Each structure stands twice: as structure tokens, then as C-alpha cells.
Structure 1
């Protein structure tokens, strides 16, 4: 979860290098935004599952 929304994080070893943010409408993914900028990633509230 990122900012309370559906997302996928590329986080080898628990270090986040990229985020895929999903826009969901009526149960379907309608858009995917990819964030790789370290400053933008740092501004997000990211909830990773335990390793």
C-alpha cells in the first residue's frame, strides 16, 4: 500500500527503488503510474510487508 492505495514496490532488501501506483475503477486497473525519483518516493507513505 502506498498512501492507502493499491501499489507495488520494487524494494530489494527492503530499500525502495521504484513504485507502481495503480488506479482502480470498478475493480479494474485503469492506469499505472511508475515513480522512480528518490525525492518523490521519499514523499510517499509506503507500507511494506515484513521481510
Structure 2
């Protein structure tokens, strides 16, 4: 995250994080799950994938 701030790209991070859901949907085999992101002010990133039933 520090490099993104230093390079002036931190404002793009929320959009990049949003793509996680889109990419998971395109794959079709799993659902992307996340409660927090650092980009949205969360205390940590807790992303992962859950296999579709």
C-alpha cells in the first residue's frame, strides 16, 4: 500500500478491489468473499474464494 501512495495510485485501489468480484463471477467456479479492505478504510484485507455448490 505504501508504494501505491508514494506513486500516486492509491485513489485507484477501490476500483481495483471492486474487480475482484467481477473476475470471480467470470470464472464461474467460486464466489469472491470479503468483509474488509484497507482501501475502504478497513482494519485489514480478508479476501478469499468460496467454491460454488
* Structure with the largest fraction of strand: 1
Larger of the two Rg values belongs to structure: 2
What is the TM-score when the length of structure 1 is the normalising length?
Answer: 0.30
TM-score by length of 2: 0.30
Hey, which of these two has a bigger chunk of helix by percent?
A: 2
